[in-house]
Chains A and B, each alone.
Chain A
């Protein structure tokens, strides 16, 4: 498309960039399903499944959601969500994991 007017700056990438991203996501989907059928011990199965899920999510956020090309402020906002999520998980799990400690002698 021949354009003579002023081009607005965008994050548009070549088609191959999006296609490659999709292929990597598909490969990770195959790996996670395959790992699911391996009958791994529970803790290992969770670790593998969550590692792959976090990797897939990061790829989607960086490439499809264009965070890779966004401003520092957008990075901060995107990062803050996952930071708060980790705080919520850490505090909730610490609560449930420590409940059976009570009653603590001498307290």
Chain B
């Protein structure tokens, strides 16, 4: 058996093709339901609980989630499941208490930056919207590559050119139906994608467990010395690389990032704002506990299966490790640790079913991309273009949103083609997300729950989030070199900088709000430049 052997055949390509064509038809059809801006951005705020749950799951259970969770399962085995527990626990807390989401939905804003203007000032809205888009686009930067890596690995395509062509093709398809139908087509396709993806995930889990067996999954720990205890900073499968481990500090970092992201990540928040009432918003979080647990736990299990599979086949493990090393040095076929799980699945899932599973994964890819593109583009129009160049009519706003979708899509393509990350995909996403999350946490929570929150504090908190770029790999390496050159033995880790960014933004918000209190009462009326 060679590394690129696959059960993926022309039949499977056919199944994927039919699914993609159906998505185009839905996009065209949904366009007839876009009568105004509210329809386009929030599907007229008509979502009920089950539909909201399907679209929330469709959005947040993207192929990129599957890929980074499976990658963590392969690299950190069982220990990486702490993230699944975190998400379930945090959603339960938010769903039971309604913390932030209930009050945020009560404000009836279209976007989070619109809330900034209502509570603070128009300037805060523009700055906050800009930070959100920069962070969001950076965060999405590797989605395309992850999706294309899945498809090339599972189908056995080895030429790196295919990676680029697939990235471009997938992006064009998503752009097409998102530009046309906005949130209406996103909701409809999300529902179909939820069903297709859900069945696909269960099928994959069945094949993984059948192939590896419960004994094989147990052997990961007992025979192959797999990683089980996340509080230990040493990964027993890679003990000489500190970054390969988890440990207490990284667990704290992930707790802060995940708790904030679950409440305030714009794509998720847009679902909170699109539901019919505050009560439904709170229910949505409570009922999302299970799908969010599953979105991490199931792909981690596949990654653990891939780890066991490669350990059972040492010749394949050697070939895989050689390819990863070659690709990291600029050669090879672009294979990375992300490819381990799809390469494994390509060998154990039979022809035909593999096509259905791949269609499910393509569904996951599209359902995340469409929502994210619409979300960031809506923010560009509503919170940057309209406040700066408005007033704008609804027609102009829809046009501006459509143009933004295409521009952001082009930026994603360029970023995805040339940026290479040394960290694992999840760490890249947590770091880029921090640029936005560190600022939004004090500004929104303070705005909703603390009367003395002030505009000056909001500016400091949002701009403090920029510190988050220092948590990216090249910046951390540069700082460590500087420390070494001045004989300081302390070694900076990525999570130090992420936590420092949250601390800077939150402390800055409180201190500056107290030093420069709000001169005028926050407005409760509909702000200019909003609909």
Q: Do A and B bind each other?
A: no
Where the two chains meet, the residues of B that have a C-beta atom closer than 8 Å to any C-beta of A are: none
